[in-house]
Structure 1
Amino acid sequence: MPWEAAIDALALAMALWLRPWRLLTPRTVRSPLGPQRLASPLLTPLLATLVLLPWLWALPTLMAMPLQLQWSGACLVVLMLGWPLAVPVLIAVGVIACLLSPAMGWGDALGAITWQGVVPATLALGLGALVRHYTGTRPFVYVLGRAFLGTVACLFVAGALSQWAGHLLPSVEQGLSLVARWLMAWGDGFVTGMLAAIFVAFKPEWLATWSDRLYLHPPEGPDGG
């Protein structure tokens, strides 16, 4: 639909205005051998997204299934790359998914980009800002509230909006489609929360929205400094 293309174009223009490529700039670190230039740590999750996520988006059209399980991954991409970089990456994911699946037309790809990519990613950005404003920077809230429950909420709202826009689930009655979208949102939320917890513990540099200085700072006060 033309207005879906307008949503994606507006989001892409705003994302590019923020110059997200700066996040991929190599960084200089000090070592016993002198300063060294290292590639951005976000390059790994970016490439992994471009390799893996298109197959998951194309899976419903590559395999004949009674219920087409729609996987988004947009909220996880926002946590890893940040919204400005996530938007062009998710648009590229939709284009690649269309090229991978002959059964996916460009109209289907546009719908996937909008309702599985741009809209839930933007909702995740807004919800993340609200969570941080009202609860502060707490690791538990980041993993449970933003990565897990926040993903469920954002994907269900995006799925409900897509249904309102006319994108119905095949082989599912209209009265049950919202239930199906609610259940699929929980699957996305479980995986996003689990991976976010793993990355916080072992690969925090893969999360552009995480900062040890903010989330692991010592408590303020007479005893905390």
Structure 2
Amino acid sequence: MNLPDYLVPTAWQWIANALALALLAYAFIKAPWKHLSTSTLQHVFLGSIVVLMLIWSVKAGIRPGLNIHLLGVTALCLMFRWQLALIALALILASVTAFGMAGWQSLGINFLIMAAIPVAFSYNLFRLIDSKLPNHLVIYIFACGFTCAGLTISLSGLVAVLALSAMQVYPANYLFSNYLPYFILIAWSEAFLTGMAVTLMTAFRPHWLATFSDKRYLKTKY
């Protein structure tokens, strides 16, 4: 992740940048801006961006372009829905790029790998769980939060491996044996931190979660 410009072919850069710009424009048009109607939620939105900027800045790597860091995608989707999550991730990625941690010309492909694809997977998995499983707090925390976060960052790693392999940056067998396994390990940290954050928010700040409802998940059943 955080691919530098020299690793991405020019044709890939143009296609990815155009696709990323179109997705971001669509998200901006469709975003539920009413969720940020209060100053408190606006501060939460901006605060989440700052926190994830710091988290994305703490990364480990073995070779150029083979960096690993936590994403926070699932938490953003549950808090603000997919449109605002995409906008937040675009701001985060632009910030870390401005600090020299990625390339501007490869901004589009980094956005697709670390934002668009994980957001699409995470939010659609949440919707599937929400529609198929009972409305229960434990399911919301452990399925929509914990499990979804772990699977999402694992998928992001797989997409990064496939992209690097398709661009012939590194051999596929090297990526699958020396890079992808690290995402399986970091998936536990992503899942644990997301599950813990969702648990705390459902307990103390449920209005921070746009996808959560006290009436649905905490109603008493007889």
Task: Bin the TM-score by the shorter chain.
Answer: 0.7 to 0.9
Q: Which runs of 5+ in 2 are unaligned?
A: 1-12
- Written as runs of structure 1 = structure 2, the 5 A alignment for 1:155-166 is 155-166=153-164
- The amino acid across from 2:58 in the alignment is L
In structure 1, how many angstroms separate the alpha carbons of the residues matched to 2:27 and 2:102?
A: 26
In structure 1, how many angstroms separate the alpha carbons of the residues matched to 2:195 and 2:115?
A: 18
3-state DSSP of counterpart to 1:133: helix
Pairwise CA distance, 1:108: 4.9
Identity %: 24
Match of 2:130 in 1: 132
- Written as runs of structure 1 = structure 2, the 5 A alignment for 1:21-40 is 21-26=33-38, 39=39
- Higher alpha-carbon deviation: 104-113 or 87-96: 104-113
Kindly tell me: are residues 103 and 215 of structure 1, through their superposed partners in 2, closer, same or farther at Cα, counting changes over 3 Å? Answer: closer
How many aligned positions are there? Answer: 201
- The amino acid across from 2:79 in the alignment is M
In structure 2, how many angstroms separate the alpha carbons of the residues matched to 1:8 and 1:65?
A: 25
8 Å contact 1:74–1:118 — kept in the other structure?
no
Alignment TM-score, normalising by the size of structure 2 = 0.80
3-state DSSP of counterpart to 2:179: helix
In structure 1, how many angstroms separate the alpha carbons of the residues matched to 2:108 and 2:214?
A: 37
- Higher alpha-carbon deviation: 89-98 or 107-116: 107-116
Match of 1:186 in 2: 188
Q: Which runs of 5+ in 1 are unaligned?
A: 27-38
- The amino acid across from 1:112 in the alignment is N
In structure 1, how many angstroms separate the alpha carbons of the residues matched to 2:18 and 2:209?
A: 29
Higher relative contact order (CA 8 A, sep 6+): 2
Asked if 1:212 corresponds to 2:214, the answer is yes
8 Å contact 1:57–1:97 — kept in the other structure?
yes
Kindly tell me: are residues 178 and 102 of structure 1, through their superposed partners in 2, closer, same or farther at Cα, counting changes over 3 Å? Answer: closer
Pairwise CA distance, 1:109: 4.0
Asked if 1:50 corresponds to 2:62, the answer is no
Alignment TM-score, normalising by the size of structure 1 = 0.80
In structure 1, how many angstroms separate the alpha carbons of the residues matched to 2:16 and 2:157?
A: 14
Structure with max Cα Rg: 1
Match of 2:147 in 1: 149
Match of 1:14 among 26, 39, 43: 26
- The amino acid across from 1:13 in the alignment is A
3-state DSSP of counterpart to 1:72: coil
